[in-house]
Amino acid sequence: MIGADAIVKCLEAEKVEQVFGYPGVAICPFYNSILDSKVRTILVRTEQNAAHAASGVARMTGRPGVCAVTSGPGATNIITGIATAFADSIPLVVITGQVNSELLGSDVFQEADITGATESFVKYSYLVRNVQDIPQIFKEAFYIANSGRKGPVLIDVPIDIQNAYVSKFSYPSEVSLRTYKPTVKGNAVQMKKVVYELGNAHRPIICAGGGVLTSGAKLLVRSFAEQHGIPVVTTMMGKGVMPTDHPLYYGMVGNNGIDYANRAMNEADVIMMVGARVADRAVNQPDLITKGKTLIHIDVDPAEIGKNAISTIPLVGDAKTIFQELVEMKFSGDYDDWIGTLEEYRKNHKNRRNPSAAYVDPARFIAMLSGAMEENAVYVADVGQNQIWSCANAVIRKGRFLTSGGMGTMGYSIPCALGAKLAEPDRQVVAVCGDGSFQMSMMELATFVQHHIQAKIVVISNGYLGMVRQYQHYAYKDHYSVVSLDGSPDLEKLVSAYGFDYLRLENMRNAKRVIEKFLKDENNVLLECIVDPMDLV
Amino acid sequence: MQKRVLQLLADNNSGVLSRISGLFSRRGYNIESITAGVTADPRFSRITIVTSGDRDVLEQIEKQVAKLEDVRTVCELKPDESVYRELALVKVRTTAAQRQEIVSLASIFRGNIIDVAPDCVIIEVTGNQSKVDALLKLLEGHEILELARTGIAGLSRGSEGVTHLA
């Protein structure tokens, strides 16, 4: 057995079902070995998308997504994907080939210091120096990626190590790291304080972030809220923690959120932040959520607590473990007046949109599309105006809402949807992107075709990089610079070349019928919606 | 493998130390110790690196370090033309009965006792690395609770090689 075989054995031991990647000489021993394995290999069309696809797998399965690329440009191309996963705490194990150990540091062909280059975007990284270390390193990597605050781990494997002889392979059953011991269980004293504060609160609110979903605490947080009648808002990453039509759910907070959700945060007397970073897009002015109120901040990463807002009650631990205990703890509060106030806010919400009838209204379209999707469908939103429309209007019931929140990486939706569909082939998966983000990932249409993964892609077309255009509209008084997408291809011709069906929606008149057709289509399909180029979110 | 002490004068920019250590790790060079501190002119840092490798590697190290934009000069501090000093703080467990022995050991090395607790003392010793090593060797019979070494700082003797920072 050689190192490459050992790597494949490690992946099998971790029950990895698929590896996304792109071969090159420096990773060829690995790709040679994996041919004899049941682990499926998926050739993406550019390395960045291998990481996004693995991110889709990770988010659906709760286990690290795996990708393997070659040294040099293969490795540097995947950095954006790694950074995207890091920003959203998505567990990945990224394997990169590397030049011969002897030649490291001598700038030979396709050498890149990838452990150095990714230093600030990985949870941890390894450069394998000894082939015998492979089982231990992989065991650790999977453990680190998927425990505590999850995130990407990179393993750089020089080609001579992949080819070196392994004397004895045994995959460790356990891992114990001297310097890495994430806190999972909540401190009992702090838990009591949480319950005490909630019991005495008049206007409590739970703000759920992406951490609730990554830790698998969705149903627990929901039943905790229901048990005590506490209203819930979410960050963008937390969308889906509550079904959109849940009476206790008041929508997404933040500068792209809905007014009554932000109002609820501002007027609450006790805020329970769970698995959320209090980052700028969700909480524009951290002062507002700490001044004169009690902030309970629950996060598995102690460094997040107090980073952007000083909390009254810090509670470090895994959301699932903490809520398993919290749902058992007794307290009673009366929040009926508060709910009444919030209902009033919700009722008085004015939809200020004034869409032109000559185009598709993206807000209404997204509500209709997601409403018509299967109950447990996966909605993958890209980045741009389309993301904001999706966040505000997508109806999520038992399904998932996946998007690149922290990094805001354009082109995320198509490869992420590919990974999600591969992980759960029986679920309906729809990627919704703009015409800008589509063109950042359109090379992956071939990947769907090659590997027989069903693609359902919606392109919200407005001929602009809409989000930037909108910013230039406000900040530069319509002085548009480098935002026109003139030159974009005819999408019908383009997707036909890949054997996709093409559907087009130019206004809302046929929306229902076209959406139905789109969702029913068993072939790969792309639906292009023509929206007003001047529309604002 | 030879040991070499390099002295760098670098712009006192944020991140300069990380650029240097990044270079060493990326190219697989050894660092035995690295110390940095601001010079008399606060725009500059003086950095002393103890590294090792064979002759070709050491030559590459010097060239690669010199290539860094923030680095103004690199020179080798040769043992016979330079002075090196390292500071070590050693926390040793002692009983009242042993304390005097530790104190006299320290004084042989011109070390100072800078903290005394009922069950331990902290020795401060300054010297070249072999002097610090020698003290630690003599302390082997005692329990060293904690040890902090700074790594060496060095200067060349005389005024010949001085870089004027004006």
Q: A104 and B22: CB-CB below 8 Å? A: no
Give me A511's structure tokens: 């929306």
Q: What is the pLDDT of residue A207?
A: 97
* pLDDT less than 70: residues of chain B: 165-166
- The reply to whether B66 falls in a domain is yes
Q: Establish, for the pair of chains A and B, how many residue pairs have beta carbons separated by less than 8 Å.
A: 11
**CA distance linking residue A167 with residue A173, whole number of Å:** 19
* CATH 3.40.50.1220 domain residues, chain A: 188-347
Total domains in the fold of chain B: 2
What's the first-to-final CA gap in chain A, in angstroms? 57
Among B18, B19, B24, B27, most A C-beta atoms within 10 A, so best to mutate, is: B27
Among A76, A108, A111, A113, most B C-beta atoms within 10 A, so best to mutate, is: A113
Which CA distances in Å does B155 have to B7, B41, B161? 8, 16, 10
| A108 has a chain B CB within 8 A of its CB | no
The angle formed by the CA atoms of residues A371, A208 and A149, to the nearest 5 degrees, is 115
Q: Are residues B94 and B144 in the same domain?
A: yes
- A363 close to A386: Cβ distance less than 8 angstroms: no
Helix axes A362-372, A385-393, angle to 10 degrees: 50
**CA distance linking residue A440 with residue A77, whole number of Å:** 13
Greatest Cα pair distance in chain A: 71
Residues of B in contact with A100 (CB under 8 A): none
CATH topology of domain A362-530: Rossmann fold (3.40.50)
- Work out the minimum CA distance from B131 to partner chain A, whole angstroms: 32
- Work out the minimum CA distance from B22 to partner chain A, whole angstroms: 7
- Work out the minimum CA distance from B29 to partner chain A, whole angstroms: 9
Q: A105 and B26: CB-CB below 8 Å? A: yes
Q: Are residues B60 and B122 in the same domain?
A: no
Q: Three-state DSSP class for A311?
A: coil
Q: A116 and B29: CB-CB below 8 Å? A: no
What are the start-end ranges of the H helices in A164-246?
A: 188-200, 210-214, 218-228
- Is the Cα dihedral A75, A81, A85, A88 positive or negative? positive
| Ramachandran angles phi, psi of A452, nearest 5° | 55, 50
Look up the pTM and report it.
0.94
CB-based contacts of B124, cutoff 8 Å, min separation 6: B87, B88, B89, B111, B112, B113, B114
Q: b or e along A132-152 (b: 16 or more beta carbons within 10 Å of the residue's beta carbon)?
A: bebbbbbbbbbbbbbbbbbbb
Q: Per-residue confidence of chain A (537 residues) as pLDDT tens digits?
A: 999 999 999 999 999 999 999 999 999 999 999 999 999 999 999 999 999 999 999 999 999 999 999 999 999 999 999 999 999 999 999 999 999 999 999 999 999 999 999 999 999 999 999 999 999 999 999 999 999 999 999 999 999 999 999 999 999 999 989 999 999 999 999 999 999 999 999 999 999 999 999 999 999 999 999 999 999 999 999 999 999 999 999 999 998 899 999 999 999 999 999 999 888 888 888 877 788 899 999 999 999 998 888 889 999 999 999 999 999 999 988 999 999 999 999 999 998 888 999 999 999 999 999 999 999 999 999 999 999 999 999 999 999 999 999 999 999 999 999 999 999 999 999 999 999 999 999 999 999 999 999 999 999 999 999 999 999 999 999 999 999 999 999 999 999 999 999 999 999 999 999 999 999 999 999 999 999 999 998
Q: A105 and B22: CB-CB below 8 Å? A: no
| Number of neighbours of residue B114 by Cβ within 10 angstroms | 11
- CATH number of the domain within which B63 lies: 3.30.70.260
Structural domain boundaries, residue B27:
2-76
Question: Which chain B residue's Cα is nearest to A107?
Answer: B27
- The reply to whether B94 falls in a domain is yes
| A340 has a chain B CB within 8 A of its CB | no
| A104 has a chain B CB within 8 A of its CB | yes
* Backbone region of residue B110 per phi and psi (left: phi > 0; alpha: psi in -120 to 50; beta: other values): left
- CATH number of the domain within which B101 lies: 3.30.70.1150
- Work out the minimum CA distance from A70 to partner chain B, whole angstroms: 18
- Work out the minimum CA distance from B92 to partner chain A, whole angstroms: 24
Residues of A in contact with B27 (CB under 8 A): 104-106
Q: B27 and A116: CB-CB below 8 Å? A: no
The residue assigned the tokens 């005692």 is B142
- The reply to whether B8 falls in a domain is yes
Question: Which chain A residue's Cα is nearest to B24?
Answer: A105
Q: For residue range A262-306, what is the model confidence (pLDDT) as tens digits?
A: 999 999 999 999 999 888 888 888 877 788 899 999 999 999 998
Question: Which chain B residue's Cα is nearest to A105?
Answer: B27
Which CA distances in Å does A299 have to A186, A215, A218, B14? 10, 10, 14, 31
* Portion of chain A with pLDDT greater than 90, in percent: 93
Radius of gyration of chain A (CA): 24
- Work out the minimum CA distance from A194 to partner chain B, whole angstroms: 39
CATH topology of domain A3-163: Rossmann fold (3.40.50)
Question: Which chain B residue's Cα is nearest to A112?
Answer: B26
| A129 has a chain B CB within 8 A of its CB | no
Q: Are residues B24 and B58 in the same domain?
A: yes
- Work out the minimum CA distance from A76 to partner chain B, whole angstroms: 15
Q: Are residues B72 and B87 in the same domain?
A: no
Q: A105 and B29: CB-CB below 8 Å? A: yes
- Work out the minimum CA distance from A105 to partner chain B, whole angstroms: 4
Residues of B in contact with A106 (CB under 8 A): 27
**CA distance linking residue A222 with residue A140, whole number of Å:** 33
E strand residue ranges, A235-317: 249-252, 270-274, 294-299, 313-316
| A116 has a chain B CB within 8 A of its CB | yes
Q: Are residues B54 and B100 in the same domain?
A: no
Which CA distances in Å does A522 have to A377, A428, A494, A518, B72? 15, 11, 19, 9, 66
Residues of A in contact with B29 (CB under 8 A): 105
| A343 has a chain B CB within 8 A of its CB | no
Q: Which amino acid is at B138?
A: L
Q: Are residues B144 and B117 in the same domain?
A: yes
Give the single-character DSSP code of A426.
T
| Ramachandran angles phi, psi of A149, nearest 5° | -80, 115
A526, containing H or E segment: strand A525-530
CB-based contacts of A380, cutoff 8 Å, min separation 6: A56, A402, A403, A412, A413, A416, A417, A420, A429, A430, A431, A432
Across chain A, mean pLDDT equals 96
The angle formed by the CA atoms of residues A259, A265 and A271, to the nearest 5 degrees, is 160
**CA distance linking residue B16 with residue A276, whole number of Å:** 33
Give me A194's structure tokens: 């949480």
Q: Are residues B135 and B95 in the same domain?
A: yes
**CA distance linking residue A526 with residue A510, whole number of Å:** 16
Q: For residue range A99-157, what is the model confidence (pLDDT) as tens digits?
A: 999 999 999 999 999 999 999 999 999 999 999 999 999 999 999 999 999 999 999 99
Closest alpha carbon to B33 in B11, B54, B56, B4:
B4
Closest alpha carbon to A55 in A24, A82, A21, A80:
A82
The CATH number, out of the four listed (3.40.50.970, 3.40.50.10890, 3.40.50.1780, 3.40.50.1220), of the domain defined by the range A188-347: 3.40.50.1220
**CA distance linking residue B44 with residue B71, whole number of Å:** 9
- B89 close to B97: Cβ distance less than 8 angstroms: no
Q: B27 and A105: CB-CB below 8 Å? A: yes
- The reply to whether B162 falls in a domain is no
- The reply to whether B165 falls in a domain is no
Q: Are residues B52 and B103 in the same domain?
A: no
Residues of A in contact with B26 (CB under 8 A): 105, 113, 116
Q: Three-state DSSP class for A161?
A: helix
- Last residue in a domain, options B76, B93, B128: B76
Q: What is the pLDDT of residue B161?
A: 74
**CA distance linking residue B92 with residue B139, whole number of Å:** 8
Residues of B in contact with A98 (CB under 8 A): none
- Last residue in a domain, options B26, B44, B76: B76
Give the single-character DSSP code of A133.
G
Residues of A in contact with B28 (CB under 8 A): 104-105
* CATH 3.40.50.970 domain residues, chain A: 3-163, 362-530
| A247 has a chain B CB within 8 A of its CB | no
Q: What is the pLDDT of residue B166?
A: 61
The torsion defined by the Cα of B141, B142, B143 and B146, in degrees rounded to 10, comes to -110
State the ipTM, two decimals: 0.85
- Work out the minimum CA distance from B69 to partner chain A, whole angstroms: 18
- The reply to whether B123 falls in a domain is yes
Q: B25 and A104: CB-CB below 8 Å? A: no
**CA distance linking residue B106 with residue B5, whole number of Å:** 27
Q: For residue range A341-386, what is the model confidence (pLDDT) as tens digits?
A: 999 999 999 988 889 999 999 999 999 999 999 999 999 999 999 9
Residues of chain B in Cβ contact (below 8 Å) with chain A: 22, 25-29
**CA distance linking residue A511 with residue A520, whole number of Å:** 14
